[in-house]
Structure 1
Amino acid sequence: MAKITTIIDIGSNSMRMVVLQKSSRFAFHLINETKSRVKISEGCYENGGNLQEVPMNRAFNSLKSFLNISKSLKAKKVICVATSALRDAPNSKVFLTKVKKELGLNIRVIDGEKEAYYGGVAALNLLHNNEFITVDIGGGSTEFCFVKDGQITNSISLNIGTVRLKELFFDKGTIQEAKNYIKDNLKKIFELNIDIPTNVVGIGGSIRSITKAIMKHSSYPLDVIHGYTYDVAENKDFIESVINVDDYNELKRLGIKKDRFDTIKEGAFIFNTILEELNTKRVITSGVGVREGVYLCDLLRNSNHKFPANFNISLRSLLDRFETDGGQSAYFGNNASKIFEVLKPLHNLDDKFRTLLVVASKLHSIGTTLNFYKVNDNTFNFILNGLNYDFLHTSRVIVAHTIKFSKKSLPTKKDIQEYKQLLPCLETMQWMSFMISLNLMINQDFSKPKVEYLLQNNVLQIKLPEYSFLVESSLDKLEIPKKLDIEILC
């Protein structure tokens, strides 16, 4: 696969582009994201589904600009897909031919099931969950992909998009007819005769806009939408308040951005009806969708469109780009696991914290690439936004705080107050801080010593292969949990 790849998705409402750069076999990172609200389907549902001249011109000119960006970023591969508006339009060939002739771009018009599948592939690989249904609300249609035990089982597309419903029902004031129309379409899901997961992964601009407003409304401390999870029952009133607003000022007060004012009521109405009919308990918001799914299907074409077991895209991508010595990162990871295991009788932490300690230990040094001074603070801020994929919000905040309080005094209540709702108890964070600090202390001369650890009567015995003044002198500065003493042996 090309080192730099551009993916363009022409939707009914928006045209979006991502440019992704590979850093190793399976790892990649985003280097550009561009969006244009071309509304290519505007007016088509009132005109037999035919694309109208003005929206087509908007889309053509945006595509031209997208390709200029792609060329400037030296993308070697461009994949462009189109969804509901072009697959439904009787005159879509007019647009496709013009783009091919004048821009030299082949557009792949994908069917609804394929569109749903791409969303499922993106969510399955880039979110931390193995059983869910994706709901991708677009301008012309809504796609559903069912995932069970980490496998995609079904995909379906229904004609219930925001622009479609706006033109057919909302602009005419027939809201109850819109609800009946949605419910009639949703019957096709129940006809599949499958278990419907109670977790929904929400994809698409309407759902992301609703999520951002919910985050603002609840004073959520982390400004990251991908992976944000909320309880449907607790937020139902808020979603309905978006549906029932009378003017744009009220939408602004609720936290809806101006570029969503024209279709957010329809989007919220569709989403709320789907959540009710499917009896959804929890929503997990996805910052990825069709574009990333197209990319992953290309990247992972020889591995059944899934990353290898235990592969973490965010961790690998950061290490590829910012680690200074792969051998040192591996050592810190292995040593972190040993320290966690020997101290388990005292800290009694779940094994998920071992994984997070290993991740924090491997990533600790990446901040030096940005700026050597205040490296922990650099890394803290970078990790909060850099662990983009396959990490729960709680996990990324724990990793960031573990790194921030390495080689320092143990964190206090005040230190964790800002992110309290995403962090475990103070004692847990103090153990995480101590264990990474000990790990860094052991290998501060980068010699990767072969160390033996033994816990006896709350005394941690550390047997070094040879005497180290650096380790011995650093031990006096290390703040130790109250239950523990440390003895250095050589």
Structure 2
Amino acid sequence: MAKVTTIIDIGSNSMRMVVLQKSSRYAFSLINETKSRVKISEGCYENNGNLQEIPMQRAYESFKSFLNISNSLKSRKIICVATSALRDAPNAKVFLNRIKNDFGINIKVIDGEKEAYYGGVAALNLIDSNDFVTVDIGGGSTEFSFIHDGNITKSISLDLGTVRLKELYFNKNDVDGAKKYILDNLKKIFDLGIEIPQTVVGIGGSIRALTKMIMKKNEYPLDVLHGYKYKVEKEINLFKDIVNAKNEDELRDLNVKKDRLDTIKEGTFIFKTILEELNTTSVITSGAGVREGVYLADLLRNCNHKFPANFNVSVRSLLDRYGIDKKQSAYLGNNAAKIFDVLKPLHELDEKYKSLLIVASKLHSIGSTLNFYKSNDNAFDYILNGLSYDFLHSSRVVVAHTIKFSKKSLPTKNDIEKYEEFLPDIEVLRWMSFMISLNLAINLDYSRPNVNYDLIDNVLNLELPNNSFLITSNIEKLESPKELNIKIL
């Protein structure tokens, strides 16, 4: 695969592009994301599905601009897919041939099942969950991909889209007709005869817009959309308020953004009906969708479109991009695991904290790369946003705080007040702070010493291979949890 790859997705409502850069075999990072609401399907559902000239011209001009961006970023590979509007349109070849003749790009029109599958690939690899159903609401269709035990078991597409319902029903004030149309289509889901998970991973512009409104309503302290999770029961009243809004002013009062005023009611109506019919209890919002799925299917084509076990793309990408020494990073990760294990009789923490301690230890030096002074604070601020994929919000906050308090003093309740809703008990964080501080102190001279650890009662015995005043003096200064004493042999 080319080092820099461009993925363009032409949807019924929006045309979107991501430009992704590889940093190692499976790791990558986003270097550009551009959206243009060209509404290529506008007017087509009232004209036997045929694309109209003005929307096609908007899409053509945006496509040209996308290619300018891609070329400027030295992208060596361009993959372009089109979904509902072009696969449904009898005159789709008019647009496809124009793009091919003028730009030399072949647009691949994918069927609904493939579109749903790509959304599933993105969520499977980039969301921290093993059992869920993706729901991707677009302008012309809605896709579902069912994931059980970390595998995609079924993908299906239904002709439920915001633009489609707007032109066929909402413009005629036929809400009852729209509801019946949705329910009739959803019968195809139940006819599959498969178990439907109670968690939905939401994909698409309408669902992301709803999530931003929920975050604002709840005064959510993190400005991170991907991985945001909420309970349907708690937020359903907002959905009802949007559907029942009488005009754009009422929608604005609910914090609907200007560019979503035209389709948010339809999108919310579709999503609300799906959640109710599928008995969904919780929703996780995904910032990744078809575009990332197309990229991952290409990147991971030799391993069943799944990352290798225990691989985290965000961690690997950050290690690659910030020039962190691989040997030092690997040592700190391995040593973190040893420290966690030997102290488990005292801290009694869940194994998930072992994984987070390893991640924090590996990524600690990012702060020094950004700016040596205040390195822990730099790393804290960056990690809150930099762990882009495959991390729950609570996990990234724990990692950030573990790094921030990797120093001589342990955190207090006042230190964690702002993000308290994401964090475990203060004693858990104090243990995490101590363990990463000890890990870093042991390797303060970058010598990667092979240390023997032995816990006897409440005393941790450390057998260091070589005498080092720098290391021993720093270990002796560490503030340890009250249950623990340290003895250096």
TM more than 0.5: yes
| 2:43–2:52 contact (8 Å) kept in structure 1 | yes
Letter in structure 2 aligned against 1:45: Y
1:169-197 per-residue CA deviation (whole Å, 9 max, x = no partner) reads 00110011100000000001111111111
Q: Does 1:414 align with 2:411?
A: no
1:249 deviates by: 3.0
Instruction: Output aligned runs, 1:346-357, within 5 Å.
Output: 346-357=346-357
1:7-66 per-residue CA deviation (whole Å, 9 max, x = no partner) reads 000000000000000000000000000000000000111111110010000000000000
Distance 2:287 2:408 in 1: 35
- The corresponding residue for 2:59 is 59
Instruction: Output aligned runs, 1:16-415, within 5 Å.
Output: 16-415=16-415
1:250 deviates by: 2.7
Distance 1:255 1:335 in 2: 48
1:76-120 per-residue CA deviation (whole Å, 9 max, x = no partner) reads 000000000000011111011111111211100000000000000
| 1:126–1:390 contact (8 Å) kept in structure 2 | yes
Letter in structure 2 aligned against 1:255: N
Letter in structure 2 aligned against 1:200: V
> TM-score normalised to the size of structure 1?
0.99
Q: Give the match's secondary structure for 1:343.
A: helix
- The corresponding residue for 2:431 is 431
Distance 1:65 1:138 in 2: 22
Distance 2:437 2:253 in 1: 45
1:409 deviates by: 1.2
| 1:323–1:365 contact (8 Å) kept in structure 2 | no
Q: Give the match's secondary structure for 2:250.
A: helix
1:475 deviates by: 3.0
1:472 deviates by: 2.4
> TM-score normalised to the size of structure 2?
0.99
Q: Give the match's secondary structure for 1:153.
A: strand
1:247 deviates by: 2.6
| 2:442–2:475 contact (8 Å) kept in structure 1 | no
| 1:203–1:287 contact (8 Å) kept in structure 2 | yes
Letter in structure 2 aligned against 1:187: K
Deviates more, 1:149-158 or 1:80-89: 149-158
1:122 deviates by: 0.4
Letter in structure 2 aligned against 1:265: K
Distance 2:476 2:301 in 1: 54
Q: How many pairs does the alignment contain?
A: 489
Letter in structure 2 aligned against 1:299: L
1:257-298 per-residue CA deviation (whole Å, 9 max, x = no partner) reads 111111001000000000011111111111100000000110
1:459 deviates by: 0.9
Gaps of 5+ in 1: none
- The corresponding residue for 2:481 is 481
Deviant stretches of 4+, over 6 Å: none
1:201 deviates by: 0.7
Letter in structure 2 aligned against 1:37: R
- The corresponding residue for 1:6 is 6
Distance 1:116 1:408 in 2: 50
The percent identity for this pair of structures is 71
Distance 1:429 1:271 in 2: 38
Gaps of 5+ in 2: none
| 2:82–2:110 contact (8 Å) kept in structure 1 | yes
1:323-344 per-residue CA deviation (whole Å, 9 max, x = no partner) reads 4311111111111111111111
1:215 deviates by: 1.0
1:139-174 per-residue CA deviation (whole Å, 9 max, x = no partner) reads 000001111111111111111100000011001100
Distance 1:247 1:473 in 2: 68
Distance 2:487 2:279 in 1: 57
